[in-house]
Chains A and B, each alone.
Chain A
């Protein structure tokens, strides 16, 4: 993802404070202008940064709306998986607590429940 890289996050943070040219963006980093340009290109392709074609220095601008959109989307997707795994764990505990040693459902290891494990919640519990 465009924002997976710390340098790109730093570039985005820098641009949040105002437009900047590649030269200006290069200064704070121990990187070449070429490397910064490559990072900018990734951000541009993601729609997170735009560059003025006209001006020779082609200063880069942050596309704030798009950034918010992307971060929100990623965050929602991540949460979806965190919630999903929490539900899966409850499902697995229900299986372990219920019918013992169903074929294909594990065996001794699997049915060993941790003492004090909370009572499995009903499936409907987390909906809504």
Chain B
């Protein structure tokens, strides 16, 4: 499966106050990942992280909810690994493809560009939708905005 350039969901850019080698290491080492992988409201114990950093190697994280201790496992496989400049992986359930590029800005900082591609899975069950209240609200606002007047192109 390949992604076209227009297949992109979003790109997030962040300049980190550290050299490229270290930033790359942080995103590809369980000992580091456990400190920031999250997502917010969850934590990911180091023993819940599998990193086999090579194309075809596993990248798995089992996140634990801070409240209630529910777990959610993200299972992915690395697609391309080119340390310390690039790494990409594909999630097995959804096929969502994430790529991360590390750019040395030459002053000891590193710009990290994270891009995600692929379609979201259909959320069939009411339970799956339940947790999306706020997100749905935001989306509704966004739709209202794009549906408003001028559509020019």
Contacts and interface: CB of A to CB of B under 8 A. Distances in A.
- Max chain B CB contacts within 10 Å: which of A84, A90, A112? A84
Interface in A83-103: 83-93, 95-96
Q: Is the interface of B mostly helix, strand, loop or mixed?
A: mixed
A20 to B, nearest CB: 12
B151 A28 contact: yes
Contacts of B17: 89, 92-93, 96, 113-114
A76 interface: yes
Given A47-B122, A114-B17, A78 B9 contact: yes
- For this complex, into which size category does the number of interface residues on chain A fall? 35 or more
Interface string B30-61: 00100111111111000000000000000000
Given A5-B6, A47-B122, A77-B9, A88 B26 contact: yes
B38 A80 contact: yes
A57 interface: no
Interface string B94-120: 001000000000011000101011111
Interface residues of B, number: 56
Contacts of B67: 128
Contacts of A85: 12, 14, 16, 112, 114
Contacts of B16: 85, 88-89, 92
B147 A16 contact: yes
Given A5-B6, A9-B146, A83 B139 contact: no
B9 A1 contact: yes
B91 to A, nearest CB: 11
Contact of A76 (B25, B96, B114, B132): B132
30 contacts: A1-B6, A2-B119, A4-B8, A6-B153, A13-B146, A16-B143, A46-B119, A68-B143, A69-B132, A71-B142, A72-B132, A72-B138, A74-B120, A80-B38, A80-B39, A85-B16, A87-B35, A88-B27, A91-B26, A92-B17, A92-B18, A104-B21, A104-B22, A106-B22, A107-B19, A110-B108, A127-B40, A127-B41, A127-B66, A128-B41
Interface of B: 6-10, 12, 14, 16-19, 21-23, 25-27, 32, 35-43, 66-67, 96, 107-108, 112, 114, 116-120, 122-123, 129, 132, 135-136, 138-140, 142-143, 146-148, 151-153
